[in-house]
Structure 1
Amino acid sequence: MKLSAAGKTITSDGNGVVDLAEGDSVMTITAQDKTIEQRVIDQVLYQKSPGQKTPGGKPWIKIDLKKVAAQQGMSNQQIGDPAQTAAYAKAITDKDVENVGSEKIDGVNTTHYKVSVDVSELPGGERMSKQLGPTLPMQVWLDDEGRIRQQQIDMTVKAPASANPDDSASPEELKMNTVMQFSDFGTEVDAEAPPAGQVADMTGQALQGSQQQG
């Protein structure tokens, strides 16, 4: 994933396992030279990273993605849920499908398509369409069994203009490029929440932060 805003770019790379039916996932993510352990269980995000400061010095934080997404009018994909990223394929429209050609992904023969996602079909779609527009361009690479081997989403999120009347700056844009590769279909996903005594609930701080940004 590559995030760009205000002239700065952050690139992160991760690998792990995702239960595409239940939505749980276990991943290891590297971003800005830090390695982050991440789990999503029942749409609750757990993260552990070196040097992380939490109340009580607990090693893990947790954020309820449902609550934050509901307040922001965004989907969980925009705040770190890999299963939601994969679910975007369910909202592909019947129009604007372009067959790009045959390509190999991780040694597997695939057909590359450019498609459009109907934003209104996504969680929080009504508010998301105001930020993203009615459709979202996406690329998918399907193998001979019709399974997604690679998915690419290029998203531009428009933030509200500053409330300061003296600030003539245009609304800030966040550009997000996400590429996911899928393999080893059928792998068992063993996703368990960390022990409660090792977790600091940061959902309140996340909600407060998004309110201030709004």
Structure 2
Amino acid sequence: MRSKRMKAGAIAIAAVMGSVVLAGCGDSSEPKTQEGGASASAGKNGDSREQGTSAVRAAYDRTAEAESARMVIKMKLSAEGRTVASNGEGVIDLAEGDSVMTITAEGKSIEQRVVDQVLYQKVGGQRTAEGKPWIKIDLKKVAAQQGMNNQQIGDPAKTAAYAKAITDKDVTKVGTEKIGGVDATHYRVSVDVAKLPGGDRVREQLGPTLPMHVWLDEEGRLRRQQIDMTVKAPASTSAKPDNSAAPQQLKMSTVMEFSDFGTEVDAQAPPAGQAADMTGKALQDSQGQS
């Protein structure tokens, strides 16, 4: 069902970064393939390639059909010689997008919840200027400013849109390996950014293609997704010498892993009055990045 498309991992990515960043194409760096992987796949017949394409296209819906899962996210952001790593772990509702996670970044532990596409975060021992322990950001409003619909919030895979953009020539079977103790098939995927919603708008900044790697289990569900990208500053920004705060280039590596499908998810918003609304600041920051 369309309502079960996987907007979940998407929202989690935006949450880990603390704001919405347009995820798109990057450099051509790729994980090392197993011996006999990609080169052997290239020699297989068209039927094999079509089967791989069909499997990748269906993966997000197959995963969402599980309704929920445990998710681990590892992310690295690098700009101007500095690298920030963040790790997140928790549970996620694959149908609704709600999630409960704990995120560790720069030595800080962040409690995070996404409820009805609103992000809530709390850093232990810290309070906002208003004295509230939680901050909240309406991800729908931030996504709307970025020209994305509800199923594209922070999503580097843009779910169904990617499935439509993938053709047989875009998918290569690399091999098989264990992911979390489960047998998984590894595919290398290259997507034409221009075929995605808003592709013309971000092509100049993110490049022509999106290289990503996915690992699917025997039921066709997503077990791991890896994206390594380089986001370039827009020409209008890089041309301004006084805009020293804006990095010319941002490298981002994201790995998501899913397990324990069907696990219970109890995502609830913090008590009323305990969260400071930071949506306005997120909108300003997001507009600056654009």
TM-score (norm 1): 0.84
- 1:28 maps to amino acid: T
In the alignment, what sits opposite 1:136? 210
| Counterpart-to-counterpart distance in 1, 2:160 and 2:84 | 25
| 1:1-214 equivalent positions in 2, closer than 5 A | 1-73=75-147, 76-77=153-154, 84-85=155-156, 87-88=158-159, 91-92=162-163, 93-94=166-167, 95-119=169-193, 124-160=198-234, 161-164=237-240, 172-212=248-288
Q: Say if 1:73 and 1:127, in contact at 8 Å, map to a contact too.
A: no
Q: How many residues align?
A: 207
Shift, 1:55, TM fit: 3.0
Q: 1:207 to 1:49 in 2, by over 3 A?
A: same
- 1:91 maps to amino acid: Y
Shift, 1:87, TM fit: 4.9
How far does the alpha carbon of each residue in 1:99-155 deviate from its partner, in whole angstroms, 9 at most, with x for none?
A: 111111111111111012454565644433332234311101111111111110112
Q: 1:119 to 1:25 in 2, by over 3 A?
A: farther
| Counterpart-to-counterpart distance in 2, 1:190 and 1:118 | 37
TM-score (norm 2): 0.64
| Counterpart-to-counterpart distance in 2, 1:88 and 1:149 | 15
How far does the alpha carbon of each residue in 1:155-210 deviate from its partner, in whole angstroms, 9 at most, with x for none?
A: 22122233535789x97111111101110011122111111210000111222334
In the alignment, what sits opposite 1:80? none
Shift, 1:72, TM fit: 4.0
SS in 2 for 1:200: strand
**Unpaired stretches in structure 2, ≥5 consecutive residues:** 1-74
Further displaced range: 170-179 or 145-154: 170-179
Q: Say if 1:112 and 1:142, in contact at 8 Å, map to a contact too.
A: yes
Q: 1:86 to 1:173 in 2, by over 3 A?
A: same
| Counterpart-to-counterpart distance in 2, 1:194 and 1:8 | 34
Q: Say if 1:45 and 1:63, in contact at 8 Å, map to a contact too.
A: yes
- 1:70 maps to amino acid: A
Higher strand share: 1
SS in 2 for 1:193: coil
| Counterpart-to-counterpart distance in 1, 2:215 and 2:188 | 9
SS in 1 for 2:144: helix
Q: Say if 1:91 and 1:118, in contact at 8 Å, map to a contact too.
A: no
SS in 1 for 2:273: helix
| Counterpart-to-counterpart distance in 2, 1:86 and 1:17 | 19
| Counterpart-to-counterpart distance in 1, 2:130 and 2:276 | 8
Higher relative contact order (CA 8 A, sep 6+): 2
Q: Say if 1:91 and 1:122, in contact at 8 Å, map to a contact too.
A: yes
Q: Say if 2:161 and 2:197, in contact at 8 Å, map to a contact too.
A: no
| Counterpart-to-counterpart distance in 1, 2:157 and 2:90 | 14
Q: 1:148 to 1:57 in 2, by over 3 A?
A: same
**Unpaired stretches in structure 1, ≥5 consecutive residues:** 78-83
Provide the aligned C-alpha RMSD in A: 2.7
| Counterpart-to-counterpart distance in 1, 2:103 and 2:194 | 30
